[in-house]
Structure 1
Amino acid sequence: MTTSAIFEKLALHVSGKHMVPALPAFIYGTAWKKEATADLVYQALCNGFTAIDTAAQPKHYREDLVAAGISRAIKDDKVKRSEIYIQTKFTSVAGQNPENMPYDPKSPLPEQVNASVISSLKNFNFAHVVEGDDTAEPYIDTLVLHSPMPTISETLEVWQALEQYVPDKIRNLGISNCDLFTLMDIYERARIKPSVVQNRFYPSTKYDIGARQFCREKNIIYQSFWTLSANPNLVGSKEAGRLANQLGISPQSALYCLVLGLGNVTVLNGTKSAQHMQEDWRAVTVVKEFAQSHPEEWDKTMTGFRKLIGQPKP
């Protein structure tokens, strides 16, 4: 992989006639934003973000307010629906608030999936702001299974229920909080293969070296989350510090860029600060230019970072 390719947008699978926006370096994460969700999503779309992550899980997300923020951005001509990548999730009963979930927890799994997907499609119906546009019909770019079910048979039952919506209502499927062996099992058995894997990037899983390798081999995009909060040691590392000092960016932005430099990775970025949004996007541009103009020095930097996380050089 050339240094110039590392920071290019990553193309997802194309589902028939439907085109899906390529994934940029950052996906805006909307967990725990509560009542501020709509304003923060709008702010993100005005400050460089074109991809949004949420979930049909009222316990931690406000999917309805994510949609409200997107609607406002579309109405104000900041973005078009076709330019935005929207990703939401099906969350099992175990991850839901018993008092507030988008389906009847006593219903069979396929019915839970159907109710959850229908509620998400209802939220992401932008017909009122894109009237006459060919993207007015509601759809979801990627639907992620928030975590594997207790058994592989239940996981596949949920996956098969999701498959029926692809490609017209859901363009791609993905899996989150998934170990390598479960990922391999789903990949082998599923009719529609996962397009994305969204996992914590942290020491407890040895930075998902095996899962990320499998993703590269199978053309699955790896989405890193908890990248900053779970890795104060990496933020404070000499590798991140050296890159930050050399290029005039923050250590946090430097770590984001080092993770992106691993290749086939996008990063969930949930900052609430417009300044940090701008700084993080600027850092990607600055580091990309540095990697292109100083390939040997960039390779040395990445070699040090791979060594730091225990990943052999490709």
Structure 2
Amino acid sequence: MTIPTITLNSGRDIPQLGFGVFKVDPAETERIVTDALEAGYRHIDTAAIYGNEEGVGRAIAKSGIPRDELFITTKQWITEQAADRSRPAIESSLEKLGLDRVDLYLIHWPAPANDLYVEAWHALEQFQADGLTSSIGVSNFLVPHLERLLDASDIVPAVNQIEVHPAYQQPGVQAFCRDKGIAIEAWAPLGQGKYPLFEEAAVADAAEAHGKTPAQVVVRWHLQRGHIVFPKSNRAERMAENFDVTDFELTIGEVAAITALERDGRVGSHPDSFN
């Protein structure tokens, strides 16, 4: 099974379908990531604040998968403590992951009340120059945050990882990112179960038409919309199901019908007020 890739503005290829470990119990992370790797995932997305980088690292080490076949992302949680937005932050993550570099390093939230994300971005630029990460990007940045960052730097973020699912697609942020060559990564791609997405006719009808589950249809919608996506599950059979999305294609009409489910239905925190 071949997972499509996207070439980032850094020149690096990133698998469009990855596995996220948000809210995965640190005690269970090694087992769960091992199951994901065995299911075929080669792109793992974690973060310092998740507290499970060590489990991800143990699973990677035990997998025997060559490093160049893996794409590993982690994120910096910026606070007023200087060490949390400087070299010790990424060095701590690398130590926990058991790696000498990550493929992508992100600022996790802009936290605008702290007014530190531009300073943190300049640190990420140096991490990339030093070979600690192949690409750098941001997460949960809105257009004003991105504009300020671009005014202060010549390096454009490779990605912006934001909340995206059929009820909440952030079209303005996506359009800005497309114009600047910033790839979109979608977190909460299935809406975190916070609304009856799978009961929507656009999703259910497409699932029936293709002999797939509603979750597979929504993951496929993300891929066809050009998003990098991280469906999450603690169950091996569901991981395999979410990965099995390359043998069918939604029609233009089916994609349009799912896209039309947009209703500004945010399920996560607002980047302007989350600090």
Shared fold by TM > 0.5? yes
Task: Letter of the 1:306 partner, please give it.
Answer: T
Is 1:242 paired with 2:215? Answer: no
SS at match of 2:225: coil
Give the 5 Å matches for 1:251-270: 251-263=214-226, 265-270=227-232
2 CA distance for matches of 1:230 and 1:156?
34
Deviation at 1:169, TM superposition (A): 1.1
Matched, 1:309 2:252: no
Once the two structures are overlaid, the 10-residue window that deviates more, 301-310 or 234-243, is 301-310
Distance in 2, Cα, partners of 1:213 & 1:85:
26
- How far off is 1:182 after superposition? 1.1
Q: Is the 8 A contact 2:78 2:116 kept in 1?
A: no
1:124: how far off? 3.3
Q: Map of 1:20-59 to 2, 5 A cutoff?
A: 20=12, 22-34=13-25, 35-57=27-49
How far apart are residue 230 of structure 1 and its match? 5.4
2:270 corresponds to which residue? none
- 1:66 matched to which residue of 2? 56
Residue aligned with 1:26, SS: coil
Q: What are the Cα deviations for residues 185-215 of structure 1, in whole angstroms up to 9, with x where unaligned? A: 22332232111111112588x4211111122
Q: Could you tell me whether the CA contact under 8 Å between 2:48 and 2:76 is conserved in 1?
A: yes
User: What's the Cα RMSD here?
Assistant: 2.3
SS in structure 2 of the partner of residue 259 of structure 1: helix
* Residues 169-192 of structure 1: CA deviation (Å, up to 9, x unaligned): 111111112212212322332232
Matched length: 259
Q: Is this contact kept in 1: 2:158–2:183, CA < 8 A?
A: yes
Shift of 1:309: 1.7
The corresponding residue for 2:144 is 181
Quote the Cα distance in structure 2 between the aligned partners of 1:139 and 1:123.
Answer: 11
- Bigger radius of gyration: 1
Partner of 2:182: 220
- CA pair 198-86 structure 1, distance change in 2 beyond 3 A: same
Which residue matches 2:268? none
Taking structure 1 as the reference length, what is the TM-score of the superposition? Answer: 0.76
- 8 Å Cα contact 1:29/1:52 also seen in 2: yes
* Offset from partner CA, 1:83-133 (integer Å, 9 cap, x none): 11110011023xxxxxxxxxxx6x4x366422111111222335xxxxxxx
1:87 aligns with 2:73: yes
Which residue of structure 1 lines up, in the alignment, with residue 106 of structure 2?
144
Which consecutive unaligned segments of at least 5 residues does structure 2 have? 265-275
Residue 286 of structure 1 is matched in structure 2 by: 247
Query: Distance in 2 between the 1:214 and 1:110 partners?
Result: 31
Contact (CA 8 Å) 1:249, 1:279: kept in 2 or not?
A: no
Indicate which of 158, 163, 170 corresponds to 1:195: 158
Change (3 A) 1:13 1:223: same
Residues 287 and 203 of structure 1: CA distance in aligned 2, closer, same or farther (over 3 Å): closer
1:12 to 2, 8, 11: 8
- Seq. identity, %: 24
Listed as ranges, the gaps of 5+ residues in structure 1 are: 1-6, 94-104, 127-137, 292-297
TM-score of the superposed pair, with normalisation by structure 2: 0.85
Answer whether contact 1:110 1:161 (CA < 8 A) is retained.
Answer: no
What's the secondary structure of 2:156's corresponding residue?
coil
What is the CA-CA distance between 1:258 and the residue it aligns to? 1.6
1:175 partner SS = strand
Contact 1:247/1:286 (8 A) holds in 2: no
Name the aligned partner's letter for residue 246 of structure 2.
Answer: T
